[in-house]
Chain A
Amino acid sequence: MPRLNDSMEFGKIGGANGFGFSGIRTEHLGATEYTLVTIAIDVTGSVGGFEAELLRCLKTAVDACKKSPRSDNLLLRVILFSTIYANGVEELHGFKPLADIDPQKDYKQLRTGGGTPLRDACYSAIGAMNAYGKKLSDDDFGVNAIAFIITDGDDNASAATENMIKQEIAQAISGEILESMVSVLIGINAASYKNELEEFQLNVGITQYIDAGDATAGKLARLAEFVSRSIASQSQAMGTGGPSQNISATI
């Protein structure tokens, strides 16, 4: 039995061993519907050298989300992936309201090293949104989701298979649990892996692949803006059925 003052609970993803996640207990939630957001960040050895910019990008994106009109309807999970972690993936934090996150204080310097368990990261990102989304849905909350997986290279060390990810994505977009789910694979400094990453995206069913270009401060700033705007857009789709749509003179 978890401690009484513990606001987070833990869950397992699918049937796979070693894949878990945490999320705020639903009884602590104060809005009627939520967008689950997952940001997965590659911290493998090759990221060394621009990890500070990557961290700044994460902080900027989260700070921007806090200003969103629907910031109280977002639950954010941030995970890091590299073979330096026991199961390839480590939660920086589980699904939490943005009000409980202070990116400037909570997000410390990234430690880089190890190989790229990209499939594990995708499986964790999508699988946790399915599992936690089901919990929210069972408690009658409206829920949709968006995930960003940011990497600079192709997979070279995963336990999860493409088929496992494919199944999780298929479930996520079926509409049975999540109202909708958008997943974005983002390559940074990944020009040499573009073909592999695009093939991976198509094979498993990730919504979109974006080549963010080189890891310059300017491009990472634009990436942060893209992430925060995508989150706001997905959240608005949840709350209102989408942005205002064109109308004819009569209805």
Chain B
Amino acid sequence: MTKITRKTEVMLEGRGMVELQPRDHMITGGEGSIYKKNNTVIKLYTDSDKMSRDGMLEKIIALKRVEHPFIVTPENIVTDRSGIPIGYYMPFVMGEPITRVFTNDYRARSQFGDDDAHILVDRMRTVVQHVHSKNVIMVDANEMNWLVDEHKKHAPEPRAIDVDAWAIDRWQARVIMPSIRDWHAKKFGALSDWFAWGIVTFQVYTGIHPYKGRLPGYVQHDLVKRMQDNASVFHSNVRLNHAVRDFGSIPAALRIWYEDVFAKGKRAVPPSPFDVGKIVPVCGRVAHAQTTTHGMLIFEKMHESASQIVQVFDDGVVLCADGSLVDVIRRKKICTIGQKHVAVVTRQDGWFVASCENDMLTCRFIDLHTGSEEIVDVAIAAQNIMSVQKRMFIVNERGLTEIVLSRMKKVLISTGNTWPTLPYATKWFSGVGVEDVMGHVHLVIPFGERACTTIRAKELDEITPVAGYGGTRFVTIVGLDSQGMYHKYEFHFDAEYRAYDVWSDVVDHAELVITTLPKGVCATIVEDGTLDIFVPSHGAHTKVSDGFIKTGTHLAHIDNTVIYTDDHTVWRVRMK
């Protein structure tokens, strides 16, 4: 039957007559046209003889044995008014094409994370196992033949479609998409199905087909040749763009399977993403690489947010303009908060999130595994709050007070040491306070596991501080002098914070984009296109040019890794 252009009555066997209209048309493919009527999808073959010639009636009956919640099996046949079979019908399922799940844009829009990927991939594995257990081969299970039902948040379900094309009993498959074909296989079978499953699920994790990316010796359209040559993304010379997600998000056992299959030509049934395998080193990927005069800067995208990122905490937690707090390492949304002054401390089993509301401290603990939130009642006055290197502090009339966080059977919060400061004469910046005691300026710097120092900094006596940052044995302050000139001061401290060296210069503006790694290396952006890396303890300094680097962004660190954040994206940065 050709595509219908006017009202046409067709018979759904077992249900009765329905009237199809042109507006019911969904899509036309190589074999036929698909229509939707209420909650039923009707496939009408273009070749009107196909049903009888290919014995589709018997095949549809045979396919009933693969019925499964994740498989859209044909329900029964469709005939025209004279009783001639012209197609079949099946239930309508809501779902996104799985190709959308490959993209970071979709992931950001729908908050689809790696945990969701594990669930989806595992369920797709269940589908293939089930099909094979019924002696059926999917053959052409390409990415267009999988849908994802995301009705239940963070419990995505696959839907295998185009089931009538599967190989069952005497019916062989007739078509296959080149991109999922196992070019090394002698015949279609369970292992070629698993190869196709691997191609599709690898893209769920990483966003890229395992035989794409730039590889010397191949041009873009050499996909099939690369598949035949096992020239995969695991090749050491492959170059991948920044939108490719880190292979480290793939569970170890499954990642080994992918590499065995795509790079070494091995064939086997894959493990589940939830299977525990031997630990392998995380296999990173080159995301954005640009040669610089001092080597290579490599940016790896860690997280992309629909809302603007306004603050980055150590340990990889970011605060977005819409109030959402996201852990970009664990790829979890922690919670949504309405307050401006927030501090976050990451623990192994969750996150302490504290904020100031009406000059009082409020604190809650969000469990990593269950997502449950425990609000802790505390009656502590707090005008400001900050987290410094896994420690949390509040500022109130008494000075700087450490908040001690613990979780036994329940969450406990208590006050620790207080270091007195003048409440109205101290300006607080990230990791440092600048206290003006009757014209004598001091720096207040928490350091180590429990310490805090107040050290006289006479260089700042005539300066009005505008911006500041405190890191490991390092503080930088930008301030205005009486002439309206900006001065930048960099203090490098000894191990006990008793003495310092200072460097200063006149600068054009007060913007500070800087981070200090625990090992004592500082990274800063002073001008567009250049990342300055220096070691205050011995003065080594490297300028790395990269057009990707911009001022007006954030730098932070996770352990000894530099994190670069622009409006909506968090990148891991390293030199090659």
Chain A interface (Cβ < 8 Å from any Cβ of B): 1, 4-5, 26-33, 69-73, 97, 99, 137, 139-144, 175, 178-180, 236, 239-247, 249-251
B221 CB–A CB distance under 8 Å: yes
A137 to chain B: which residues have CB within 8 Å?
220
Question: In the complex, are the beta carbons of B173 and A247 less than 8 A apart?
Answer: yes
Which of A31, A179, A245, A250 is B104 in contact with, Cβ under 8 Å?
A31
B315 CB–A CB distance under 8 Å: no
Most buried by B among A73, A99, A247: A247
A244-B552 contact given A32-B208, A69-B100, A239-B209, CB 8 Å threshold: no
A244-B103 contact given A32-B241, A141-B243, CB 8 Å threshold: no
A180 to chain B: which residues have CB within 8 Å?
221
Q: Chain A contact residues: over half helix, strand or loop, or mixed? A: loop
Question: In the complex, are the beta carbons of B105 and A31 less than 8 A apart?
Answer: yes
A178 to chain B: which residues have CB within 8 Å?
220
Question: In the complex, are the beta carbons of A241 and B105 less than 8 A apart?
Answer: no
Question: In the complex, are the beta carbons of B244 and A175 less than 8 A apart?
Answer: no
Question: In the complex, are the beta carbons of B551 and A239 less than 8 A apart?
Answer: no
Question: In the complex, are the beta carbons of B239 and A140 less than 8 A apart?
Answer: yes
Question: In the complex, are the beta carbons of A69 and B99 less than 8 A apart?
Answer: yes
Within 8 A of A (CB), among B242-277: 242-244
Bound-state CA distance A4–B243 (Å) is: 20
Q: In the complex, which range does the number of interface residues on chain B fall in? A: 35 or more
Across the interface, name the chain B residue whose C-beta is closest to A244: B175
A71 to chain B: which residues have CB within 8 Å?
100
Chain B interface (Cβ < 8 Å from any Cβ of A): 30, 97, 99-100, 102-109, 140, 142-144, 172-181, 185-188, 207-209, 212-214, 219-221, 223-224, 239-244, 288, 304, 528, 548, 550-553, 566-569
Bound-state CA distance A33–B174 (Å) is: 28
Which of B143, B187, B552 is A240 in contact with, Cβ under 8 Å?
B143
CB distance from B142 to the nearest CB of A (A): 6
Across the interface, name the chain B residue whose C-beta is closest to A99: B105
Bound-state CA distance A244–B30 (Å) is: 9
B566 to chain A: which residues have CB within 8 Å?
4, 27
A179 to chain B: which residues have CB within 8 Å?
220-221
Across the interface, name the chain A residue whose C-beta is closest to B571: A27
Across the interface, name the chain B residue whose C-beta is closest to A236: B144
CB distance from B207 to the nearest CB of A (A): 5
A241-B224 contact given A27-B569, A251-B185, CB 8 Å threshold: yes
Question: In the complex, are the beta carbons of B212 and A241 less than 8 A apart?
Answer: no
29 cross-chain CB contacts under 8 A: A1-B528, A4-B550, A26-B242, A27-B548, A30-B103, A31-B207, A31-B243, A32-B103, A33-B208, A69-B100, A69-B144, A70-B97, A70-B99, A72-B105, A99-B105, A140-B240, A142-B220, A144-B220, A175-B221, A236-B144, A239-B99, A239-B179, A240-B177, A241-B223, A245-B176, A245-B177, A247-B176, A247-B188, A251-B188
Bound-state CA distance A31–B213 (Å) is: 12
Bound-state CA distance A249–B175 (Å) is: 10
Bound-state CA distance A244–B145 (Å) is: 11
Question: In the complex, are the beta carbons of A139 and B172 less than 8 A apart?
Answer: no
Question: In the complex, are the beta carbons of B100 and A72 less than 8 A apart?
Answer: yes
Across the interface, name the chain A residue whose C-beta is closest to B527: A1
CB distance from A133 to the nearest CB of B (A): 11
A72-B106 contact given A140-B214, A240-B179, A244-B177, CB 8 Å threshold: yes
Task: List 15 extra interface pairs beyond A69-B100, A141-B241, A249-B172, CB under 8 A.
Answer: A30-B104, A32-B103, A32-B207, A72-B103, A73-B103, A140-B214, A140-B241, A179-B221, A239-B179, A240-B142, A244-B176, A245-B177, A245-B178, A246-B174, A250-B186
A247 to chain B: which residues have CB within 8 Å?
173-176, 188
Bound-state CA distance A99–B100 (Å) is: 12
Bound-state CA distance A165–B219 (Å) is: 24
Bound-state CA distance A33–B102 (Å) is: 11
Across the interface, name the chain B residue whose C-beta is closest to A7: B567
